[in-house]
Amino acid sequence: MPNMNGKVALVTGASSGIGRATAEAFAARGAKVIAAARRADELATLVTEIEARGGKAISVPTDVSVAADVERLVVQTIETFGRLDFAVNNAGFEGTVEPITDCAEEVWDRVLGTNLKGTFLCMKYEARAMLEAGHGGAIVNVGSINSFLGFPGFSPYVASKHGMIGLTTSVSAELAPKGIRVNIVCPGIIDTPMHRRGRELFGDAAYDQVLQHSVHSRRAGRPQEIANCILFLCSDEASYITGTALTPDGGYTLTM
């Protein structure tokens, strides 16, 4: 992976899981990092750890479903580091697992507000900053295998992740001629707090059966493996890749 010295990377949902691993990976390769999420304490710990390794980072507590928060996040990025090269829109919320007949409107609104509206708001302000600077950039959204596959009782989450595919390809078509690439990474079962909650909900036996019979690699992925995919898509080595969904899932979707 090439170094990213002098570049600036913004990562939402950076307090844990894939977002945290991605922020750490950018910093390890020399990029200055803006870590955003709602959990301020976890962000502060992340920044302290990055700086202890010689990196540069700031934390900006942010609710991506609130336009003013997202606008402030991007403004603070430019004010602090003077530019924005890479943006990873990873903030997400899984909601609850229940039949559509029991799904509360409030759950639908929160899931779509974070996952789909939040991605829209982030790209809106990130793209503005990149276009104003005129030096191009790369945006990577974080979807899911549920961007392609339905799952019973998970309708709001699946709908939000499907919507991110259309949003990504549409914005790519807008921005690619202006030097900004937009892609989406759609991970499978990754060992993150979100998936650990799934294991608790469905039970170890059911979860392990899926890993052994539906995932070719016979294991859950690691957050760092997804971070590597994201950094590749941001790098110049992916210069001809835009509007694409990369699916690091250990072969899961091939079995469906």
Active site residues: 157
Strands (E), the chain: 8-12, 32-37, 57-61, 86-89, 137-142, 180-185, 245-246
Q: Which two tokens stand for residue 63?
A: 């609710």
Q: Which two tokens stand for residue 103?
A: 């799904």
Length of the chain: 256
Q: Where does residue 21 rank: exposed (0-12), middle (13-18), buried (19+ CB within 10 A)?
A: buried
Among residues 136, 32, 138, 121, which one has the least CA distance to residue 87?
138
Quote the CA–CA distance of 249 and 190 in Å, as a whole number. Answer: 8
Q: Spell 123-160 as b/e; 16+ CB within 10 A means b.
A: bebbbebbeeeeeebbbbbbbbbbbbbeeeebbbbbbb
